[in-house]
A and B are shown apart, each in its own frame.
Chain A
């Protein structure tokens, strides 16, 4: 007789632990593949997994084997024209060229290729990065609450009655109150039987009386008393806000061509994915500007093109207005990222610095400025230089020249500080 068992409902991912161990072991290789990947990928598909290749030698599991050489005899199938004693030139490639042997020893020579899931990919991508100033507002903003289970209490509303607890309590009370009476009752019943056997009339009468009395006493103990009732208790706990808003500021004036915008977009995308992993809720505000700034949708932000001069302070002003109107710094963790080719009206740069210093930097968690240009630094960069000295915690600026700079710069901006 056979047993037939349906195991299809068993939990998935039995190999998850082993898989994770494997990834941990080859972290170095995988991280390299991941950061290579981020440079070559097109903008829309950073959120998928990645194929990783590790050289075969690095992950082999060595065992003692025979090498080539010596005398070896092998039996093969499928003889067509050979007869005993034939001599054949040795096939090129050395060794015996045998398929069976080659698959044993040759396994280590191939590169080992496998697929990372999207989660694993991001895990590796952001592995040693962290958000600066994370603690500042994490504890502060606590406007929302959550009810949590916190044991049981003696009084409460009927809706929160815990039946199981109450009945347990009742049972305990009944045992405590009638235990003695029950013991005497069973003793009395025993004695009664003895008396009946002996025919002791007086004893029978006395015992029946006692039994009656005890039974009454037991009956008087109520099945459920008000003192038994137990209610579930809930307490209100403040939940630290975990929501962030990210401001993407971009110059769309005539000097910004599509390739510069693409680079900016990659940078924003990385930042967005990074924030998303840290906060339950992440909003994005897109602000583009030439001489005037405007809040726009994503599509328009990246793909529309305008001409005209550049006034960076307009965007910063708009950002400040939006923060005031919609994203109170008490409730939101605010991040700003500005991308530009560095062009600005010369008169405007000091205004930008002033705006940042007085209005924005005190309320944001972090503000990053990336200058994407192949030329040397522009006026804005020099102005911002002062800021990075004044606010080393909250402000940083970096220079990007080509696509492969993006991830290193990003990595540099959010590198775990304690390692330095």
Chain B
């Protein structure tokens, strides 16, 4: 017993810098033994009010100024002061080195949990997952944010905070439509941005003039021929605005671009919530258990750790007052744990459903299931019948043409595939967000812009549409139409400014 006690890393719950270093060292050693590949870690100890700052600026250590961050801040501050909300244990930033925040109020157990979760779990996910690898550049993001902050501050000095705020408001409203879904973006770098920014501003302005040129061209264009612009529908609305909006000044285009780049940076995170949190949770659980098995931490440590761990994984059922949708931590953790079980202790059912991984080496299967998937495909590929049974998942179909809602499938032999399909599509951003594209610009007429909303499952747009359209109108500078299309037919149409409908205008 005394021999065992001598190996303990700590015997009190208070943390010190030496202890954090010791824990980090041990957890890092175990993580490497399991084959986790990570960026170097930068662990920062902060106060709770600094955590609130970080919270309200979407977790980034530098950010440009905007009132909406202030709004989030007062909201977080109020909830925290009233005890409605505990602050998150951790914020971790996809950068190289990977920055993780620890709060000074936490005790040693929580710090160890956060180190395992953020510095080795999330960190290895950022470095390994294909979306992060191809869509974000961890080594350049901080520099880019510094560039963005400075650019926006300079613009405020030159053109006034009001003007800058208007552009930012409008760009934020369209932020989710500032992402290239299929084309892989160039990595961003602050140096490059600065070098090319002036050049780009000039080029775009010149190009636009060509597009809107009114002086007759020497070569006679056939008047009858309809020029279609854009030649193909564009789904990246912010990119379209940045390149084609006729009235924006170069600095305004640059701000639109900044918002677009930030949206692009967060796009992988929005698509890998379940995987990312599940992976980090799975690893903090595995790493800290290994610490315990090696006798480095005692029972008290484990009890406390497990209490927080189970609290994080709490999944209220659908009829519970606390139900807020499916908890990504719970689903992700259940799936990764189950994958390990399938590898180590496969049942007949597993052999039938997952013939190629049942009984394989889990240390090869799991990293694979982290690297090459996003939430949608991960669930489609790996959600096992056992997890569906454990979480008692069932699908509900709500059709507004019927009076009742229908239970379409449950966790039984007939329903597994259907439930899995439904759940996967629930994590498909393309289905979650209305599909809106730029289809037409009146080059010769009133320069109006037409957007089309391609309805998914006949779902209409929500109440905020008018407000967003106003923002679109502000950026474009000429009338903006939005048509909702269902089965090749326009079923609804709105316009900004409001005065005239399209028929009257024509």
Q: Interface residues, chain A, CB within 8 Å of chain B?
A: 1-8, 10, 12, 14-15, 17-25, 59-80, 82-90, 96, 98-101, 103, 105, 108, 112-115
Docked Cα-Cα span, A72 to B97, in Å, equals: 42
Contact of B40 among A2, A66, A90 (CB under 8 A): A2
Q: Interface residues, chain B, CB within 8 Å of chain A?
A: 17, 20-21, 24, 28, 40-47, 49-50, 52-53, 56-57, 65-71, 73-75, 77-78, 81, 97, 104, 119, 161, 165, 169, 172-177, 315-320, 323-326, 391-400, 403-412, 414-415, 419, 422-423, 425-426, 432-434, 436, 455-465, 467-468, 471
Q: Are A82 and B74 in contact (CB under 8 A)?
A: no
Whole-angstrom distance between the Cβ of B358 and the nearest chain A Cβ: 25
List the 3 closest pairs (A to B, CB-CB), nearest first. A78-B317, A100-B325, A22-B70
Q: Are B394 and A79 in contact (CB under 8 A)?
A: yes
* Secondary structure class of chain B's binding surface, majority of residues: mixed
Q: Given A17-B65, A90-B398, A67–B71 Cβ distance below 8 Å?
A: no
Q: Are A77 and B317 in contact (CB under 8 A)?
A: yes
A-B contact pairs, 28 of them (CB 8 A): A1-B40, A3-B40, A3-B41, A7-B46, A8-B45, A15-B53, A17-B65, A25-B67, A61-B169, A65-B461, A65-B465, A69-B400, A70-B455, A70-B456, A70-B459, A72-B397, A73-B408, A73-B425, A78-B318, A83-B412, A85-B407, A86-B407, A90-B398, A99-B324, A101-B325, A103-B325, A105-B462, A114-B77
Docked Cα-Cα span, A74 to B67, in Å, equals: 35
B177, B323, B436, B463: which has the most chain A beta carbons within 10 Å? Answer: B463
Q: Which residues of A contact B419 (CB under 8 A)?
A: 75
Q: Are B410 and A84 in contact (CB under 8 A)?
A: yes
Q: Are B460 and A75 in contact (CB under 8 A)?
A: no
Q: Which residues of A contact B49 (CB under 8 A)?
A: 12
Q: Given A64-B468, A78-B316, A100-B324, A15–B71 Cβ distance below 8 Å?
A: no
Q: Which residues of B contact A67 (CB under 8 A)?
A: 459-463
Docked Cα-Cα span, A113 to B49, in Å, equals: 19
Docked Cα-Cα span, A1 to B20, in Å, equals: 13
Docked Cα-Cα span, A96 to B426, in Å, equals: 14
Q: Are A15 and B462 in contact (CB under 8 A)?
A: no
Q: Are B119 and A2 in contact (CB under 8 A)?
A: yes
Q: Are A2 and B70 in contact (CB under 8 A)?
A: no
Q: Are B45 and A6 in contact (CB under 8 A)?
A: yes
Whole-angstrom distance between the Cβ of A313 and the nearest chain B Cβ: 52
Q: Are A63 and B69 in contact (CB under 8 A)?
A: no
Q: Which residues of A contact B456 (CB under 8 A)?
A: 70
Whole-angstrom distance between the Cβ of A49 and the nearest chain B Cβ: 11
Q: Which residues of A contact B69 (CB under 8 A)?
A: 15, 18
Q: Given A60-B467, A76-B318, A2–B41 Cβ distance below 8 Å?
A: yes
Q: Which residues of B contact A68 (CB under 8 A)?
A: 400
The residue in chain A whose Cβ has the minimal distance to the Cβ of B123 is A2
Docked Cα-Cα span, A186 to B174, in Å, equals: 71
Q: Which residues of B contact A83 (CB under 8 A)?
A: 407, 410, 412
Q: Are B67 and A60 in contact (CB under 8 A)?
A: no
Q: Which residues of B contact A103 (CB under 8 A)?
A: 324-325
Q: Given A66-B434, A75-B423, A114-B78, A15–B406 Cβ distance below 8 Å?
A: no
Docked Cα-Cα span, A8 to B324, in Å, equals: 34
Docked Cα-Cα span, A395 to B462, in Å, equals: 58
Q: Given A25-B67, A69-B400, A19–B73 Cβ distance below 8 Å?
A: yes
Docked Cα-Cα span, A99 to B319, in Å, equals: 9
What's the count of A-B pairs with C-beta under 8 Å? Answer: 265
The residue in chain B whose Cβ has the minimal distance to the Cβ of A17 is B65
Q: Are B467 and A62 in contact (CB under 8 A)?
A: yes
Q: Are B65 and A18 in contact (CB under 8 A)?
A: yes
Q: Which residues of B contact A18 (CB under 8 A)?
A: 56-57, 65-67, 69-70, 73
Q: Are A75 and B40 in contact (CB under 8 A)?
A: no
Q: Which residues of B contact A71 (CB under 8 A)?
A: 397-400, 457-459
Q: Which residues of A contact B78 (CB under 8 A)?
A: 113-115
Given contacts A71-B397, A78-B318, 7 further A-B contacts (CB under 8 A): A7-B50, A22-B68, A64-B461, A65-B462, A67-B462, A67-B463, A78-B391
Contact of A61 among B173, B391, B394, B412 (CB under 8 A): B173
Contact of B44 among A5, A60, A88 (CB under 8 A): A5
Whole-angstrom distance between the Cβ of B430 and the nearest chain A Cβ: 12
Q: Are A84 and B414 in contact (CB under 8 A)?
A: yes
Whole-angstrom distance between the Cβ of A16 and the nearest chain B Cβ: 9
Q: Are A99 and B410 in contact (CB under 8 A)?
A: no
Contact of B410 among A62, A74, A79 (CB under 8 A): A79
Q: Given A63-B176, A77-B326, A2–B24 Cβ distance below 8 Å?
A: yes
A1, A2, A59, A62: which has the most chain B beta carbons within 10 Å? Answer: A2
Whole-angstrom distance between the Cβ of A93 and the nearest chain B Cβ: 13
Q: Are B407 and A15 in contact (CB under 8 A)?
A: no
Whole-angstrom distance between the Cβ of B59 and the nearest chain A Cβ: 13
Contact of A74 among B45, B396, B414, B467 (CB under 8 A): B396
B73, B456, B460, B462: which has the most chain A beta carbons within 10 Å? Answer: B462
The residue in chain A whose Cβ has the minimal distance to the Cβ of B56 is A15
Docked Cα-Cα span, A23 to B70, in Å, equals: 8
Docked Cα-Cα span, A4 to B97, in Å, equals: 12
Contact of B71 among A6, A59, A63 (CB under 8 A): A59
Contact of B320 among A2, A61, A78 (CB under 8 A): A78
Q: Given A7-B45, A21-B70, A90-B405, A65–B20 Cβ distance below 8 Å?
A: no
Q: Given A103-B325, A115-B81, A77–B393 Cβ distance below 8 Å?
A: yes
Whole-angstrom distance between the Cβ of B195 and the nearest chain A Cβ: 29
Q: Are B407 and A99 in contact (CB under 8 A)?
A: no
Q: Given A64-B176, A71-B398, A115-B74, A21–B67 Cβ distance below 8 Å?
A: yes
Q: Are A88 and B467 in contact (CB under 8 A)?
A: no
Whole-angstrom distance between the Cβ of A4 and the nearest chain B Cβ: 5
Q: Are B73 and A8 in contact (CB under 8 A)?
A: no
Docked Cα-Cα span, A96 to B323, in Å, equals: 14
Q: Which residues of B contact A72 (CB under 8 A)?
A: 397-398, 457, 459
Docked Cα-Cα span, A415 to B395, in Å, equals: 63
Contact of B392 among A63, A77, A99 (CB under 8 A): A77
A3, A84, A108, A112: which has the most chain B beta carbons within 10 Å? Answer: A84
Whole-angstrom distance between the Cβ of A11 and the nearest chain B Cβ: 10
Docked Cα-Cα span, A69 to B399, in Å, equals: 7
Docked Cα-Cα span, A61 to B467, in Å, equals: 9
Q: Which residues of A contact B17 (CB under 8 A)?
A: 4, 6
Contact of A75 among B70, B73, B393 (CB under 8 A): B393
Q: Are A4 and B24 in contact (CB under 8 A)?
A: yes
The residue in chain B whose Cβ has the minimal distance to the Cβ of A25 is B67
Q: Which residues of B contact A60 (CB under 8 A)?
A: 464, 467
Q: Which residues of A contact B40 (CB under 8 A)?
A: 1-3
Docked Cα-Cα span, A73 to B432, in Å, equals: 11
Q: Are B324 and A66 in contact (CB under 8 A)?
A: no
Q: Which residues of A contact B21 (CB under 8 A)?
A: 2, 4
Q: Which residues of B contact A15 (CB under 8 A)?
A: 52-53, 56-57, 69-70, 73
Q: Are A21 and B410 in contact (CB under 8 A)?
A: no
